[in-house]
Structure 1
Amino acid sequence: MKPVRKAVFPVAGLGTRFLPATKAIPKEMLTVVDRPLIQYAVDEAREAGIEQIIFVTGRGKGALEDHFDIAYELEAVMKARGKSLDALEPTRLPAGALASIRQQEPLGLGHAVWCARHLVGDEPFAVLLPDDLMVGAEGKSGCLAQMMETYAAVGGNIVCAQEVPKERTASYGIITPGAAEGARTEVKGLVEKPKPEEAPSTLAIVGRYILQPEIMAVLDNQESGAGGEIQLTDAMAALIGRQPFHAVTVDAARYDCGDRMGFVTANLALALRRDDMAPALRAMIADIA
């Protein structure tokens, strides 16, 4: 069983739900408290042992790569003023650890992952959707690190799962569950965005995956699915029965930062976890409520 060293970040979306903020700034660079959204996802991947970061980008996304580059002028000014560079340390990736590839057309998540096929090669890889901000419980490792533990135990393909209200199944890929053991559930089937009355369960896939490289061959010939897009869920379904496939319900909070309310909630929730901000924030909330 090969280790998971590479992670794909589909970041080509236009972020139209956040206009006008995202007219000139990638949505992944919007900050939650004091870090851009993409930083949380990259930090999570590195904590899990990921060595190679792969961005699948579109036009106007250069700020994502710049964020993880060395800012010589900024660092020089900070050093001259005697300021610490500790805040910049997580943004400095090792040389050659970041690669970027273009998704020229918005053809869906499956297509975005397929665009990274030559960089992934014949290795298993992770996929992280930065819009899904996953924050591990206090004292717990991050979402992907928890999934890696399951991967080490059973191998194959692993998806992160979360129970959702039945009326919301049409917004997710939904799992047909098999045998369950603790936080791990065998995946018997997958369906993309089913109507509530047709959903096989309320166990939904959220934005973290560990996938085997064979999925790229499936995506080579994958036809459009729900929404007229090439769906990653449909390609994953083709691997069920051919390779081990499990879902993991992780001990982490999820904030849908592709949604404005989810984004605001994430800012409040993460600020309330910080000792340097929580007291003042609670007082402010009480004052304006």
Structure 2
Amino acid sequence: MTLLLMAAGSGSRYGKLKQFDDLGPKGEFLMEFAMYDAIKNGFDHIVVITKKDNVAFLKEHLSKRLTENVQLDVLAQEIADLPTGATFTGERPKPWGTAHAVWTARNVIDQPFCVINADDFYGQSAYANAATFIKEYPQEDHYALVGYTLKDTLSEHGSVSRGVCKTNGDNLISVDERLKLAQEGEKVVDADSGMEYTGNELASMNFWICRPSIFEVIEKEFRAFLQDEHMIKTSELYIPKTIQNLLQEGKAKVKVLPSKDNWFGVTYASDREMAVKSLQQKTNEGQYISPLWQNQ
């Protein structure tokens, strides 16, 4: 099983590259806790998608921590990485999006894999549930999403964007992207759309369980995207949208796996203190050893 971490963001609201911030008790990156949890649950392949300038650093940093039986690939997400025969001659200041980040790994992944954000903490049960799902549902059209209670994913320091899930039992119907969610009294309100939520809804935090066949789907969408001049200038390719398209076309079934753990992330610089305290607390409680890789 493979864990793919998306670490190509610029951290504009955080003020620096949050993927490489030393949040752990011994200076560990947040992504290292994800790798640790995944490996404990049987994952044996780590893929990190990052910016070209960070590839050498991350490869050296992580290879010192992982054992030889865990394969490591660190790949650059680049604007010039296009489908064969496709062209792009304009200028673009940011990457093509999360679906393109996943597509970057098309040549190194040939088994079921999980996709996560490198700057989010998902909790140990998420990886255990993902591993169980992969073993119990080997079918190529079976995908899954680890869901978190919406009210537990908000920030005290500003609004956040979240994908609010609609479900039928444990089956995903859709993910509605809301861009400016914040707690207002007992409700969660999206300032952008005016939509109100109880806060008990499940939210997508971009923890997806995918199949290798998704690479062909992303490439097809990417080719169409590159033909649309408006999309090229204003939009991105998003992995939730790709999976939702598969769902709506009847080409995939998506289970929602509620997490038993709390999610946290570092969207804003002021979120850092909470993250540091939380990781220290989990270490004090024995969930993690310190330093994290002492037995590797």
Q: Same fold (TM over 0.5)?
A: yes
CA contact (8 A) 2:11 2:18 kept: yes
- Per the normalisation by structure 2, the TM-score is 0.70
User: Is residue 149 of structure 1 aligned with residue 144 of structure 2?
Assistant: no
- Per the normalisation by structure 1, the TM-score is 0.71
Match of 1:77 in 2: none
User: Is residue 230 of structure 1 aligned with residue 201 of structure 2?
Assistant: no
Match of 1:173 in 2: 163
Q: Secondary structure at the match of 2:195?
A: helix
Take 1:272 and 1:266, find their aligned partners in 2: how far apart are those partners?
Answer: 10
Of 210-219 and 149-158, more deviation after overlay is shown by 149-158
Match of 1:134 in 2: 122
CA contact (8 A) 2:49 2:74 kept: yes
Cα drift, residue 165 of structure 1: 4.4
Give the counterpart letter for 1:191 in structure 2: D
Match of 2:47 in 1: 54
2:12 to 12, 16, 24: 16
Match of 2:82 in 1: none
Which structure would you say has the larger Rg?
A: 1
CA contact (8 A) 1:55 1:99 kept: yes
Cα drift, residue 273 of structure 1: 3.6
Q: Secondary structure at the match of 1:269?
A: helix
User: Is residue 98 of structure 1 aligned with residue 72 of structure 2?
Assistant: yes
Take 2:215 and 2:269, find their aligned partners in 1: how far apart are those partners?
Answer: 33
Match of 1:192 in 2: 177
Cα drift, residue 239 of structure 1: 2.0
CA contact (8 A) 1:190 1:233 kept: yes
Take 1:213 and 1:276, find their aligned partners in 2: how far apart are those partners?
Answer: 37
Higher relative contact order (CA 8 A, sep 6+): 2
1:178-237 deviation line (CA, Å, top 9, x unaligned): 12xxxxx111223333745398x9321113211122222221132459x71111111001
5+ residue gaps, structure 1: 71-90, 137-141, 180-184, 278-289
User: Is residue 271 of structure 1 aligned with residue 260 of structure 2?
Assistant: no
Give the counterpart letter for 1:211 in structure 2: C
User: Is residue 28 of structure 1 aligned with residue 14 of structure 2?
Assistant: no
Match of 1:85 in 2: none
Take 2:100 and 2:43, find their aligned partners in 1: how far apart are those partners?
Answer: 22
User: Is residue 212 of structure 1 aligned with residue 195 of structure 2?
Assistant: no
Cα drift, residue 96 of structure 1: 7.0
Question: What value does the CA root-mean-square deviation take over the aligned residues?
Answer: 3.1
Counterparts of 1:55-94 in structure 2, within 5 Å, are 55-61=48-54, 62-70=56-64, 91-94=65-68
Identity, % of aligned positions: 19
Give the counterpart letter for 2:119 in structure 1: D
Change (3 A) 1:269 1:196: same
Match of 1:74 in 2: none
5+ residue gaps, structure 2: 80-94, 180-192, 226-230, 287-296
Greater percentage in helix: 1
